């Protein structure tokens, strides 16, 4: 059974993007480097058409470096360019803009464009919470777009001038209407791309710890003092909750708070540099 999170403003945004594409020279798509496949939205492909696309693997500082290199190689041949980035610190943003300008010049008809307008135009797309607004803020060198640590912050369409040659269209984060692949849903939930209100956080934390064990990412065990011979994720959750003082009145272990802590620590990189999927 598929799962979905597709508020009305997202459906409206898809229609607006489709209408705006006649003005667009090149697309910049922001992905999470920890799960580039899961955070790519194929639902937008029809709306974006055949415009050249630059891919930005954001939050690469939280991803496994070797896996990111593999993704750069895999995605580079299928796009106008791909860069790894840390948009909060500005790493990779300038390079992505340069690639977008190069792609726009290469594919455009200069004479027609100069008669109509002075700058190239790009649209920045991505699913919620991958860092679109942080990318635009850095590109524009000002806080011109809202940022937030929860999905769905950006809602209104806005053009932002980012260089003498280019302006950007910021768009709301847009989810696919349905997610039928459990592995994709798991990745999106783990990365905070889906509203936590829709999630079973205890179940998510258990799945996350199990996945980290499979990957051999043991930093979470060191952080929480999990015994080496403890392999049951449910026991791990109870252990973490107890060690971190997540208790209900009367001293009972509060695994809901413990689960929230584990997921929050993973998203912020406190459990190590982890990539959830390989190319």
**pLDDT of the residue at 4:** 56
Nearest to 59 by CA among 270, 268, 235: 268
- Angle at which helix 182-191 crosses helix 201-215, to 10 degrees, equals 100
8-170 to CATH, choices 2.40.37.10, 3.40.50.720, 3.90.1150.10, 3.40.50.300? 3.40.50.300
pLDDT at residue 112, rounded to an integer: 52
Q: Is the distance from CB of 224 to CB of 239 less than 8 angstroms?
A: yes
Helix (H) or strand (E) holding 70: helix 65-76
The strand order across the sheet containing 53-58 reads 81-84, 53-58, 26-32, 120-125, 166-170, 158-163
Nearest in space to 40 (alpha carbons), one of 53, 50, 51: 53
Integer Cα distance of 268 and 214 in angstroms: 20
- What pLDDT is attached to residue 115? 39
Tell me the pTM: 0.88
What's the confidence (pLDDT) of residue 117? Answer: 56
- Specify the length of the chain in residues: 279
H-helix or E-strand spanning residue 222: helix 219-224
pLDDT at position 16: 80
pLDDT of residue 252: 94
In which residue ranges of the chain is CATH 3.40.50.300 found?
8-170
Q: Where in the chain is the domain with CATH 1.10.1580.10?
A: 200-267
The β-bridge partners of 28 are: 54, 124
Distances (CA, A) of 45 to 48, 172, 249: 5, 16, 51
CATH architecture of 200-267: Orthogonal Bundle (1.10)
- Identify the segments of the chain with pLDDT beneath 70: 1-9, 108-118, 142-157
Q: Which residues contact 99 (CB under 8 A, 6 or more apart)?
A: 54, 80, 81, 83
């Amino acid at each position: 059974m598929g799962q979905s999170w597709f508020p009305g403003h997202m459906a409206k945004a898809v229609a607006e993007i489709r209408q705006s594409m006649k003005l667009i020279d090149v697309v910049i798509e922001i992905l999470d480097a920890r799960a580039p496949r899961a955070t790519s939205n194929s639902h937008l492909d029809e709306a974006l058409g055949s415009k050249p696309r630059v891919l930005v693997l954001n939050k690469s500082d939280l991803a496994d470096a070797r896996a990111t290199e593999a993704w750069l190689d895999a995605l580079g041949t299928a796009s106008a360019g791909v860069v790894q980035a840390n948009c909060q610190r500005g790493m990779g943003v300038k390079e992505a803009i340069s690639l977008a300008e190069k792609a726009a010049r290469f594919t455009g008809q200069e004479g027609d464009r100069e008669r109509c307008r002075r700058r190239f135009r790009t649209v920045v797309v991505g699913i919620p919470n991958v860092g679109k607004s942080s990318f635009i803020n850095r590109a524009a060198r000002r806080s011109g777009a809202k940022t937030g640590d929860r999905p769905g912050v950006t809602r209104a369409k806005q053009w932002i001038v980012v260089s003498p040659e280019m302006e950007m269209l910021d768009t709301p984060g847009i989810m696919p209407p349905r997610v039928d692949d459990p592995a994709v849903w798991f990745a999106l939930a783990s990365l905070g791309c889906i509203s936590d209100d829709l999630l079973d956080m205890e179940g998510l934390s258990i799945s996350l710890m199990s996945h980290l064990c499979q990957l051999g990412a043991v930093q979470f065990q060191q952080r929480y003092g999990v015994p080496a011979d403890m392999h049951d994720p449910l026991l791990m959750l109870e252990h973490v909750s107890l060690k971190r003082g997540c208790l209900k009145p009367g001293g009972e272990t509060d695994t809901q708070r413990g689960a929230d802590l584990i997921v929050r620590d993973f998203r912020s990189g406190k459990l190590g540099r982890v990539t959830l999927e390989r190319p």
